[in-house]
Amino acid sequence: MSENNYFRVRLSQVPAELEDIITTHCFESGASGVTEALIFTQPDLTYDPQILNVRNHEMDVFFPENPPKDFFDGLTGINALIRWNIYEEENKDWLEEWKKGFKPFKLIGDFWVVPSWLQPPPECKHAIYIDPGMAFGTGTHATTQMMAFFIHKLAEKYKNNIADWAMLDVGTGTAILAMLAQMSGMGLVAGIEIDPEARRVARENVKLNKLPEIDIPESQLEDIREQYDLVVANIIDGVLINIKKDLMRVLKPGGHMLLTGILEERDDHFFEKFIEGSGLTVIRRIEKDEWVGYWVQS
């Protein structure tokens, strides 16, 4: 066995009422960790997963070395119906593994996304440095790319005006879109985010790119009292519908709103619930992969 390997034992047909006893037995046998393979349903991405109650569960038990025979004998002693499979797996630093595949790439126009640990390529005119950590928004997702396209087009169309505009990025993630907007000439930019870790990452990225004027406050959407010339929201469509009232409230009359994160199969539903009867005019609608984006104006 390599020093970098560990063993994973997948237990099946585990009676729910015996989980605590089995977990104790695992740790007493030298296991370094135990996880339960939960069965859940999530019909709509706007809702939290619902755990399904089942009589027999599956569990993964992790061992730094080949598990001892006593471990398996003990399982049979607890319940003779429990079954198992053993897998030898390689230890990896998954964040470092992921970093290997994250290379600089052209986001839109002259703007490139560059991992903070790499140098920009010679053809890169404007680098947006990103260290994403656990936050969403490296620029590779279709919805982020659609939003970058919209921001770029809007900045071109209103290049004589946007220095006087204020923008709110709702669900800023890594702050990639906020930074793109600021670097494209937007006057004031604020990014709000419900996830504290993402807020931390966003602030680090803003600092990394020397854009201290971008504000990443603790405030949430319902706390915002100002109105903005541009409101940007790259969030799953069900959530957009849920926060529509607040998004409309923070948008100035005549202001622009960019919405991505709409699944193509739910586009009709989104249009009916968000855009129809809202007083919003669709300036442009685009599709990429299975996603739809809207540029609308009030």
Contact 248, 233 (CB under 8 A): no
State the sign of the Cα–Cα–Cα–Cα dihedral 198, 199, 200, 205.
positive
**What is the reported pLDDT for 294?**
98
Name the token pair of 167.
């923008």
**What is the reported pLDDT for 92?**
72
Q: Give mean pLDDT, residues 110-132.
A: 92
> pLDDT tens digit string along 66-102?
999 999 999 999 999 999 999 998 877 666 767 777 8
Q: Give mean pLDDT, residues 106-120.
A: 93
State the sign of the Cα–Cα–Cα–Cα dihedral 93, 97, 98, 100.
positive
pLDDT band at 191 (very low <50, low <70, confident <90, very high): very high
Q: How far apart, in whole angstroms, are the C-alpha atoms of residue 248 and residue 296?
A: 11
Q: Are 77 and 181 part of one and the same domain?
A: no
Checking phi first, is residue 277 left (phi over 0); if not, alpha (psi -120 to 50) or beta?
A: left
Q: What is the CA radius of gyration of the chain?
A: 24
Q: Are 104 and 84 part of one and the same domain?
A: no
Q: What is the pTM of this model?
A: 0.74
DSSP 272: I
Q: Are 42 and 106 part of one and the same domain?
A: no
**What is the reported pLDDT for 1?**
45
Q: Are 29 and 162 part of one and the same domain?
A: no
Q: Are 172 and 87 part of one and the same domain?
A: no
Q: How far apart, in whole angstroms, are the C-alpha atoms of residue 209 and residue 188?
A: 16
CATH value at residue 144 = 3.40.50.150
Domain span including residue 247:
96-297
How many domains would you assign to the chain? 2
Whole-angstrom CA distances from 52 to 14, 45, 61, 82 are: 15, 17, 21, 20
> pLDDT tens digit string along 243-256?
999 999 999 999 99
**What is the reported pLDDT for 40?**
57
Q: Are 115 and 159 part of one and the same domain?
A: yes
> pLDDT tens digit string along 260-298?
999 999 999 999 999 999 999 999 999 999 999 999 999
Share of the chain above pLDDT 70, in %: 90
43-57, 108-122, 183-197: range with lowest mean pLDDT: 43-57
CATH value at residue 23 = 3.30.70.120
